[in-house]
Amino acid sequence: MKPVLNIPDKTAANQRRAADPNWSIWVAANAGSGKTHVLTQRVLRLLLSGAAPQSILCLTYTKAAAAEMRRRVSALLAKWAVMTPDALDKELGALDDQPVDDKKRALARTLFAHALETPGGLKIVTIHAFCESVLHRFPLEAKVPFDFSVIEDDEQAQMVLEARETVLADGLAGGEHAEAVARLFDLLSDDQIGKAIMAALADGRKLRAVLANRAQAKANLRRLVGLENGLDASAIEIRMLNDRLIGATHIARLLEICPPKRTGTAFEEKLARLDARAPRLGDWLKAFLTAKGEVPAKFPKKAFFDADPELAALVAAEAERLADLAVQRNSAQLVERSDALLDVTGAISDRFEKRKRAGSLLDFDDLIEKLADLFADKALGAWVQYKLDAGITHILVDESQDTNPRQWRVIEAIAREFFTGDSAVERSRSVFAVGDQKQSIYSFQGADPTQFGSIGLAFEKRAIDAKRPFQPLPLETSFRTLTGVLEAVDRVAARPDIQAALLATDIIKHNTARPDEGGMVTLWPPVHQPNESDADNEWPLEPQGTEKTAPRQLAERIAGQIKCWIDTRRTHGPRGQVVTANDVLILVQARNVLFHEIIRALIKADLPTPGADRLAVTGHIGVLDLLALCDVLLNPADDLQLAALLRSPLFDVSEDDLLALAHDRGNNTIWQRLADSNLASARDAAERLQRWRSQLDYERPYEFFAAVLYADNGLKRFHARFGSEIDDVFAEFLTLALEHEQTDQPSLQGFVTAMRTRQISIKRDLAETGAGVRVMTVHGAKGLEAPIVILADATSTPSPQKLGNPVYLVEESPGPMLIHASSVGHHTEHTLPFRTLDEDNQKAEYWRKALCRHDEGQG
């Protein structure tokens, strides 16, 4: 039963105007204010006004949103085709408050068939899908292969990984870019190198701009950090020692003033331990500076100033000199890392691009950039736009706040002729966009929420100049959330810094159309990480109980609370409905440890849950268990792998049983001990392992794993440990096994090797309720709703520095550059005209992400 709504007259009027096909509309819509409803109503009214289905272009942000829009429109059109005349008149009249005549009624009944007959149907698509379709129509003009295909995320990740490994291996072997690769490995660990490279490559939009003028980018960085004199870190270190203000004589006098103790960390003790005539650089710096490279507080101490003020002043001057040089050395190392990273990343990018060209492949960024570049071409672009202009007369853009500048370039180019020349008056044209700057949380994909307002103003000016109706409209009333939740959001958003982060000029106020009282926000105190340090640092002589980590404690408390609600038949909402697992949506900021601990706790508490919304297939522990099984069957002498395998869901061997098998076994392998053991679990394991090993010679990968999972009840065993999410993982795993069998030389060992070199994940659609408690990231859950929403990590805050990640800096002229941020803290404040793209809006987006979460919660 749907709730009765109290819809303000202004809201109803704004919704009708927003759906008016004769007006171009720019809608700023709060969370839950009926954006999809208005979009649907506008498409229906456009069709009823005579607009051809193929002339309407509706761009949505995700495939799921596009599918939902198509479903809604198609369902209503199908319903119109079979409704009774009275019911149809009532529904059509409610659309625009206009009388219904025979012509309108007849058109409404035929729209469903008309939409089905239209080639391609209604164009309700993502912007990437639209760009792909246009590029396929005009491949020569866009300079793309006529038979190009789009790379999926997993394939792209694999290609990037192969390019990275090839470039690094070639560099380490003395090939091209050997110097840059060697410098990276001298300055950073393997893990840091991998993370830095992949983070840079992950944002191809910014990286391409940097690589387009690499030499200038390097010069820009040197100018930013003040190293235009060409000094490198080695030269600075030589200056640190050669230009010392304190010599052996000074050191002797200092030790005379304050005789050192045998041990200690005071200045005089550090001096006493170094070679006064030829000190090592590390010892010299430790004597005068802190570990952070700064001058210690109250340095040198009062005793030196009292005994010899001139010498004390000289010591202070030496410390200041070293601190200044330490900053310069950090800058030089920063430049060296960045230059090496830029060269290596550029080589990887070049190799990846060559691989794409060889395979006639485009990625999602290519689709946008190629079409935007085509439209920017004055000759070819104008012709293509003319061809498109003849077919598209109405553009609708959903979630406009997350449309990035390159995507706006495409949209603006399509609509360029809507308000100019004869086309502005010959036929009805309209532009419609709906969004909310407060909800923009996709800056990592290039979204710029300020563009929503500025683009709207630009379209408004064009419409006014062409004397076409245009109106910006607000939709402020929530149809989803109860008053209590909205009031809590408004109280938080009233803080001036948060209001500024939400890009709001006025105090934020949410209204609701739901008259029901209720809606509650409950705050739990944070769970603290237990202190695992042992004061005496001694090995325990007795078994120690381990404390649960903070994520595990929180996850188990969340699962316990949900189970309590369900077991006690707790009611929620104004209609007193009993809480079920389907009512609960748990949100986290990232798929981190807490994310997996929550899923684990839900399964342990026997609460139904579909599991994770994104699963790493090749890295999933269930798949690793199957690969370990193959390792053991191919090499029974691998005791370590077999020991780990016996503790997997495939077998019933306990910790005690495994200890009995592995301990004091002499020269025997665990495989041999299994066959001779009297333990029931061991005999069962030995029997199945022997049977599976006998099948290796004639079973293909797919048949072998299918037999393990289905014929031998392996899937049932994994279900008990991992829940239903394992179904999707193993389905993809078996598909990969089947694909491997189509290769030139399929084999079980070859498949295992291939799986260990690939990184494959699957996305799962958890939008529909009915599978239990959903656990999702804020980004993945955008637009979804649930009666109960739990924000599991609401106290985490954004890191003040992105240590280890690339930071991109943009300069008005002559170009952009890339720096590596492992020591960027020394250079974030400067007078040059640079700004950090990745850091500027980090805190603002954090608050937008935090406060837009009420979009998911009803009450």
Q: What is the DSSP string of 217-231?
A: HHHHHHHHHT-TT--
Per the structure block, which two tokens stand in for 726?
Answer: 């394992």
For range 190-198, the mean pLDDT:
80
The answer to whether residue 756 is domain-embedded is yes
Do 322 and 209 belong together in one domain?
Answer: yes
- Residue 349 inside a domain? The answer is yes
How high is the pLDDT of residue 442? Answer: 64
Q: Are 69 and 40 spatial neighbours (Cβ–Cβ below 8 Å)?
A: yes
Sign of the CA dihedral running 794, 796, 801, 805 = negative
pLDDT tens per residue across span 215-230: 888 888 888 877 766 6
| Better pLDDT: 645 or 855 | 645
- 211-225, 533-547, 559-573: which has the minimum mean pLDDT? 533-547
Look at residues 321, 342, 359 and tell me which one is the last residue of a structural domain: 359
Confidence of residue 804 (pLDDT cuts 50, 70, 90): very low
Output the known binding site for ATP.
Answer: 29-36
- Mean pLDDT, residues 554-583: 88
pLDDT at 799: 52
Residue 124 in any domain: the answer is yes
Domain shared by 709 and 620, yes or no = yes
Cβ neighbours of residue 174 closer than 8 Å, sequence gap 6 or more: none
Is residue 853 scored above 60 in pLDDT? no
Q: Is the pLDDT of residue 488 over 80?
A: yes
CB 40 within 8 A of CB 76: yes
Higher model confidence: residue 70 or residue 798? 70
What's 855's DSSP letter? G
Residue 336 falls within a domain, yes or no? yes
296 & 216 share domain:
yes
Reported as a single tens digit per residue, the pLDDT across 691-715 is 998 887 667 888 899 999 998 889 9
Taking residues 550-574, what's their average pLDDT? Answer: 89
Residues 393 and 422 grouped into a single domain: yes
pLDDT on residue 855: 45
**What's this model's pTM, rounded to 2 decimal places?**
0.73
Closest CA to 851 of 342, 501, 405, 428: 501
Q: Which residue has the tokens 């202190």?
A: 531
Number of residues that this document lists for the chain: 859
Q: Give percent of the chain above pLDDT 90.
A: 15
Task: Examine residue 806 and say whether the peptide bond preceding it is cis (omega within 30 degrees of 0).
Answer: no
| 339 and 390 belong to one structural domain | no
- 778 is a domain residue: yes
First to last CA, the chain: 16
What is residue 14's predicted lDDT score, i.e. its pLDDT? 87
Q: What phi and psi values does residue 745 have, to the nearest 5 degrees? A: -130, 75
Clarify whether residues 267 and 213 are in a common domain: yes
pLDDT band at 197 (very low <50, low <70, confident <90, very high): confident
DSSP string, 22-49: TSEEEEEE-TTS-HHHHHHHHHHHHHHT
Same domain, 385 and 267: no
pLDDT number for residue 564? 93
Answer yes or no: are the C-beta atoms of 70 and 56 closer than 8 Å: no
The pLDDT assigned to 833 comes to 35
Count Cα atoms within 13 angstroms, Cβ side, for 289: 21
Label residue 798 exposed, middle or buried (CB < 10 Å: 0-12, 13-18, 19+). middle
CATH for 594: 3.40.50.300
The confidence score (pLDDT) of residue 830 equals 32
**Does the pLDDT at position 231 exceed 70?**
yes
Residues 383 and 287 both lie in one domain: no
∠ CA 230-234-239, nearest 5°, is: 85
Asked if the model's pLDDT at residue 721 lies above 50, the reply is yes
The model's confidence at residue 452, banded by pLDDT at 50, 70 and 90, is confident
Q: Which helix (H) or strand (E) holds 733?
A: helix 725-740
Domain span at 635: 615-763
Look at residue 320 and tell me whether its pLDDT is greater than 90: yes
Q: Provide the 10 A C-beta neighbour count for residue 481.
A: 26
Residue 100 has pLDDT above 50, yes or no: yes
End-of-domain residue from the set 359, 375, 391:
359
Looking at the structure of the chain, the number of domains it has is 4
Angstrom distance (rounded) from CA 90 to CA 84: 10
Confidence band for 847, pLDDT divided at 50, 70 and 90: low
Q: Say what percent of the chain tops pLDDT 70.
A: 86
47-61, 561-575, 807-821: range with lowest mean pLDDT: 807-821
Which of 717, 745, 763 finishes a domain?
763
Q: In terms of domains, do 125 and 179 share one?
A: no
What is the predicted pLDDT for the residue at 815?
43
Compute the distance between CA of residue 713 and CA of residue 741 in angstroms, rounded to an integer: 23
Note the pLDDT tens digit of each residue in 123-160. 888 889 999 999 999 999 999 998 899 988 778 888 88
Element (H, E) at 353: helix 309-358
Q: What is the pLDDT of residue 3?
A: 61
User: Does 191 or 18 have the greater pLDDT score?
Assistant: 18
pLDDT over 70 (residue 813) = no
Using CA atoms, how far apart are residues 300 and 737, in angstroms rounded to an integer?
69
Q: Which of 56-65, 390-399, 520-529, 549-558 has the highest mean pLDDT?
A: 549-558
Is residue 723 scored above 50 in pLDDT? Answer: yes
- Identify the three-state secondary structure at position 99: coil
Answer yes or no: are the C-beta atoms of 702 and 736 closer than 8 Å.
no
Q: What integer best gives the mean pLDDT of the chain?
A: 81
For residue 542, give the DSSP letter: S
Torsion of CA 761, 593, 200, 234, to 10 degrees: -140
Q: Residues 353, 437: one domain?
A: no
The binding site comprises 29-36
- Return the beta strands (E) in 716-767 as ranges: 761-763
The pLDDT, as a whole number, for residue 822 is 41
Nearest 5°: phi and psi at 432? -135, 130
| Mean pLDDT, residues 8-18 taken together | 85
Instruction: Give the pLDDT score at 399.
Output: 81
Looking at the domain assignment, is residue 401 inside a domain?
yes
* Residue 349 CA: distances (Å) to CA of 155, 315, 396, 842: 15, 50, 35, 27
Could you give the dihedral angle defined by the CA atoms of residues 739, 742, 747 and 752, in that order, rounded to the nearest 10 degrees? -20
Low-confidence winner among 163-177, 711-725, 769-783 (lowest mean pLDDT): 769-783
Q: What are phi and psi of 431, to 5 degrees?
A: -120, 135
Residue-wise pLDDT tens digits, 575-590? 778 899 988 999 988 8
Mean pLDDT of 510-532: 79
In this prediction, residue 803 has a pLDDT band, given cuts at 50, 70 and 90, of: very low
CATH number for the domain spanning 728: value is 1.10.486.10
- Averaged pLDDT, 750-756: 86
> What's the Cα-to-Cα distance from 727 to each of 492, 713, 774, rounded to whole Å?
41, 13, 16
Q: Which of 85-99, 145-159, 664-678, 760-774 has the lowest mean pLDDT?
A: 760-774
DSSP three-state, residue 797? coil
- Beta strands 806-811 and 614-616, pairing class: unpaired
Residue 645, H or E segment: helix 639-646
Q: Tokens 């310069």 label which residue?
A: 328
Helix (H) or strand (E) holding 598: helix 593-604
* 809 and 835 Cβ atoms separated by less than 8 Å: yes
Residue 232 covered by a domain: yes
Domain membership flag for residue 838: no
Residue 678's Cβ-side half-sphere holds a number of Cα atoms within 13 Å equal to: 0
Let me know whether 272 and 241 are in one domain: yes
631 and 693 in a single domain? The answer is yes
Question: Whole-angstrom Cα distance, residue 305 to residue 311?
Answer: 8
Strands (E), 460-575: 470-475, 477-478, 511-512, 571-572
As a whole number of angstroms, the distance between CA 625 and CA 643 comes to: 11
Structure tokens at 252: 């002797």
